[in-house]
Amino acid sequence: MSLKDSKDAYIEKLKVQLDQWSADVDAMDAKAKQADADLREKYQQKADELRYQKTLAQGRIAELQESADGAWEEIRIGSESIWETVKQTFADAKAKFDR
């Protein structure tokens, strides 16, 4: 597999995850609309945080897409910790509100 193929496959994997997170935020918004006022506020706060995290992840994807094929691996390595933080934030929110 060439560097370009590896880069494209990696970016596609991240985009799929981002789509899943978008669906998670949409589901949280739907639950917030059905919740009582106190819980609705908590849902909205968490949804806002997740939207922010999603924006960070989108920025990383854009950075990876714009990187030269030779430099993308360095950027990918630097992005891994940020991506893991975003991933953990979504997992925590989902666990908390899917009860």
Confidence of residue 38 (pLDDT cuts 50, 70, 90): confident
Which tokens sit at 57?
A: 């992840």
Q: What is the pLDDT of residues 2-20, one digit of tens each?
A: 767 788 888 898 899 889 8
Q: Which residue is associated with the tokens 């691996």?
A: 73
- Comparing C-alpha atoms, which of 96, 74, 73, 84 is closest to residue 5? 73
Confidence of residue 99 (pLDDT cuts 50, 70, 90): low
Residue spans of the domains in the chain: they are 3-97
Q: What CA–CA distance (Å, rounded) separates 71 from 48?
A: 33
Q: How many residues does the chain have?
A: 99
Q: What CA–CA distance (Å, rounded) separates 7 from 68?
A: 10
